[in-house]
Structure 1
Amino acid sequence: MEVTGFFTALVIGLIIGALGRLVVPGRQSIPIWLTLLIGVIAAVLGTLVAGALNVDDTPGVDWIELGLQVAFAAIGVSIVAGTYGRRRH
């Protein structure tokens, strides 16, 4: 992954976290900063997986890469919301 791809993934990760939270059904009792952190991590993971699958450099919008990032964010939000909610009680 190039440096520009890494920084782009970080910036997009903030939006990806919010999208991942919207995709997960129900109410998630985690703070917004944790959602954004999950989004950044999911964006980096999605970019790495897209690079491994050779779908990271397509003409136009990289829909496959974006889908991977949102999927990772949704999985991350689901896992963290489940463990974070139990820990708080």
Structure 2
Amino acid sequence: MTGLGLLAGILTGTAIGVVGWLLTPHRRDVPPWLVMVAGVVGAQAGAIATQLLGLGTDGLGVVEAIAQAAVATLGVVVVAGTAGRVRSAAPVPAAVPAQDSRTRRWRARQQGNAGVGGDAA
């Protein structure tokens, strides 16, 4: 990858990131820098993929530009679709009920302690 390809990847990824952020329905929840970074990383991944497949050129070729745009768009879609949503993994547990002295004595016996009120188990 040459300097021109690197610069093209940064510009392509940033442009696709900005457009993707503007088209995101819940864009207030997604920071703009996040989709821009996803676009740049995706564009660089597209450029690297074309080089590994032997489709790249020394400069900026059409195949490399299309691959950069496609992978950058995929990265932006994934990030914009998953970032910013609040998801709870499990329901919030209920508060622990107050324990009376019988419950404390029972738990102490289960743990092998002598108990709270001087009871010997």
Please report the TM-score for the alignment, with normalisation by the length of structure 2: 0.53
Instruction: Considering Cα pairs closer than 8 Å and 6+ residues apart, tell me whether 1 or 2 has the greater RCO.
Output: 1
C-alpha distance in structure 2 between counterparts of 1:70 and 1:12, whole Å = 7
Q: 1:77 matched to which residue of 2?
A: 76
RMSD of aligned Cα (Å): 3.0
Q: Secondary structure of the equivalent of 1:87? A: coil
Gaps of 5+ in 1: none
Q: Which has the larger radius of gyration?
A: 2
Pairing of 1:25-64 with structure 2 (within 5 A): 27-29=25-27, 30-57=30-57, 62-64=61-63
C-alpha distance in structure 1 between counterparts of 2:80 and 2:8, whole Å = 26
Q: 1:9 matched to which residue of 2?
A: 9
Higher helix fraction (1 or 2): 1
Aligned length: 84
C-alpha distance in structure 2 between counterparts of 1:36 and 1:26, whole Å = 13
Aligned residues with identical type, % of pairs = 31
Contact residue 13 and residue 42 of structure 2 kept, 8 A: yes
C-alpha distance in structure 1 between counterparts of 2:81 and 2:35, whole Å = 13
Gaps of 5+ in 2: 89-121
